[in-house]
Amino acid sequence: MKHFFLFTLLLSSLLQAEKLDGKKVFETYCWGCHHQTAMAFGPPFNQIAEKRTKGEIIAYITSPKSMYKQFGYKRSVMTQFHLSNEELDTISDYILSFKGKK
């Protein structure tokens, strides 16, 4: 019983350490085309954060092909991703954290 308790404790701390963070999602999927505050192939996160809500950001990542017109683009070249809800949540918060940053 005592061992089981210790094991659970260890496991939960491992899970804590493995917890997704937005920066990791960004580095894995987005970094090639977006930078935090500098223009790259796609617009920088501080600019996106200035004009979009969390819902809009998630909608765009989920389906750029159906959102680009509404966002004012003539076409979309962004990759369509299939991220988990958790990844979408953390990456959109990460983008919004650059609001007002230069």
Nearer to ligand HEC, 7 or 86 (CB): 86
Tokens 């076409």 — which residue? 75
Tokens encoding 49: 């954060």
Tokens encoding 55: 């819902």
Let me know: does 51 contact 43? Beta carbons within 8 Å.
no
CA distance 40 to 3: 51
Shortest distance (Å) from residue 53 CB to ligand HEC: 10
Nearer to ligand HEC, 13 or 27 (CB): 27
Nearer to ligand HEC, 13 or 93 (CB): 93
Contact residues toward ligand HEC (CB under 6 A) are: 29-30, 32-34, 41-43, 48, 52, 57, 60-61, 64, 68, 71, 73, 76-79, 81, 91
Shortest distance (Å) from residue 30 CB to ligand HEC: 3
Tokens encoding 90: 């953390």
